[in-house]
Structures are given as C-alpha cells and as structure tokens.
Amino acid sequence: MQNITDCLGYVFDTSDSKCYLKEDAAAEHVPSTSSVSGPKECPCASCACVEENVDYFGGDIFHVDGVASALACKVWFLPRTLEQEEQWQSQ
C-alpha cells in the first residue's frame, strides 16, 4: 500500500466532496466540470498550480470523503502527528 508521501497530485470532486490523492499528477487530464486538480508542490511561485474543471484520470492512491474544499484536499499532503490525524478525522 502506498503512503500519502507517495502522492504527487490531488483531485477534489466538488459534486461529492471527495479528495482523491494521485500517484501521478501528469496522468491523463480529462475535462470534468466538478473537479479541481493540482500537484503536490507548485513548481514555481508565478505558476497557476490549480486546474479547474480537470481530472487527473486514474492513478488513485486513495480517497477521502467529506472534504470541504480543494485547499483542504491539498492539506492531506502536510505532515501531521497521529493525534492531529485522529482529531481531524473526528471532525
């Protein structure tokens, strides 16, 4: 099983509030009116690192239900302690 640290990108599905962590942000880009996608890390300060209406098709490591926004989806990449993880999950 892969870890969050293996993720290179994410897709937030606005229609069902799910966050999909992806193993490859360079996967096939598919138009999707309910998706917001982005890489784990933005390659430059002046780059537009969020792609609205784009799904990085395939390469799912796992998904999380009940995520509030694309930013909250991206936060899954941030290191956190077990206590922080349990607190976040209980909300």
Contacts of 50 (CB under 8 A, 6+ apart): 36, 37, 38, 70
Total-model pTM: 0.76
Cα dist from 21 to 45, 53, 60, whole Å: 22, 17, 6
- Give the CA radius of gyration of the chain: 13
- Distance (Å, rounded) from C-alpha 14 to C-alpha 19? 9
Residue-wise pLDDT tens for the chain (91 aa)?
Answer: 455 667 788 999 999 999 998 887 666 889 999 999 988 877 777 777 888 999 988 888 888 899 999 888 888 766 555 555 566 555 5
